[in-house]
Amino acid sequence: MSSAVWTVPNVISMVRLAMVPVFAVLIVTGEDLWALVVLAASGASDWLDGFLARRLDQVSRLGQVLDPAADRLFIVVTLIGLTWRGVVPLWVLVVVVARDVMLACLAPVLSRHGYGPLQVGFVGKGGTFALLYAFPLLLLAQSPGTVGAVAQVVGWAFAWWGVGLYWLAGLQYLVQTRRLVAADAGGPGRVES
C-alpha cells in the first residue's frame, strides 16, 4: 500500500471530484445533454481509476479514501439535482443520504479504536455501479419517445438495485464495525485471526 499522492488513479479521482460542481451547474441550468456527458464520464472514470490502480500497482491510502468519497459526493449531488428537477422523488434522495449519514457516524467509532475507513466491498461497489448507471438513464428518460420510455424502465431497475445494494453494503459495514469494536474490547463478538 503506497502513501503516494500523485498517482494516475488519484488524479483521475481528483478530476472526478472537480466534475461534481460542473454537473451541478449543468443539471440546474437544464443542460441535460452536457449533464449526461459529465455523468457518463464520471461513471467511466470510476471504473478506470480502480482498474489503473491495480494494473499500474498504484493502490494508495489516499486512493482508498478519495475514490469512495468522490463516488458518494457525485451520487448525493446528482440525486439533489435530479430531485430538484423532479426526475426522482424526494424519498430516493433521503434513503441514499441516510445510508451515507449512518456510515459517517461509524467513522469516529472506528477512529477511536484505531481503525481507518473500512475497505469498500463487492456489494458496495455493485450498489455504487448501479446508481451511477441509473442516474444518466433517468435523466435520459426525460426524452420523449421510445428512447425515453426504455431509459425510464432500465434506469429505475438500476436505481432499485442500486439502493438495495447500497443499503445492504451499509449494513455490512455496520456489522463489520461492531465486530472490530468488539474484538478490540475483547468482548463476545471478538474476531479470531
Whether residue 193 is contained in a domain is answered as: no
Whether residue 174 is contained in a domain is answered as: yes
Under 8 Å between Cβ of 107 and 114: no
Whether residue 191 is contained in a domain is answered as: no
Q: Which domain holds residue 168?
A: 8-185
pLDDT in tens, 151-173: 999 999 999 999 999 999 999 99
Per the structure, the count of domains in the chain is 1
Whether residue 120 is contained in a domain is answered as: yes
Matching residue, cell 445494494: 165
Q: What is the CATH number of the domain that holds 55?
A: 1.20.120.1760
- In this prediction, residue 187 carries a pLDDT of 53
Matching residue, cell 472490530: 180
Whole-angstrom distance, CA of residue 65 vs CA of residue 81: 24
Among 69, 61, 89, which Cα is nearest to 17's?
69
pLDDT in tens, 110-158: 989 888 778 888 998 899 889 988 988 998 898 899 999 999 999 999 9
Under 8 Å between Cβ of 91 and 158: no
- Mean pLDDT, range 96-107, rounded to an integer: 92
